[in-house]
Amino acid sequence: MVVVMSAGATELEIVGVVHRLETAGATAFVSRGLNRVVIGLVGGPAAIAELGLADLPGVERVCAATGGLRLVSREVSPVRSVVDATRSP
């Protein structure tokens, strides 16, 4: 699952979400972008769903990280993909 924090989320709100996840036994990975913070998490989906993360201050939305995204992960293929975008057909 992925927790997308709102653009104006404070550091205290981010720490609050991470603490809630870790207290429930999940592992949180915080990724800081230019405008937004995303918290990826690993843990039992049923237990995480019961935490009410979407209702926490600073949380914009909670998304399931399933489907096609797993196909591009290092878990599926540890070999780096390279795309040549300079050549035309």
- CATH code at 2-58: 3.30.70.1140
pLDDT at position 89: 62
Residue 82: pLDDT over 80 = no
Closest CA to 29 of 46, 42, 43: 42
Q: Where do the structural domains in the chain lie, given as residue ranges?
A: 2-58
What pTM value is reported for the model?
A: 0.69
The pairing of beta strand 2-5 with beta strand 37-42: antiparallel
Distance in angstroms (rounded) separating the CA atoms of residues 78 and 43: 22
Ranking 1-10, 35-44, 58-67 by mean pLDDT, the lowest is: 58-67
Determine the average pLDDT of the residues in 14-19: 96
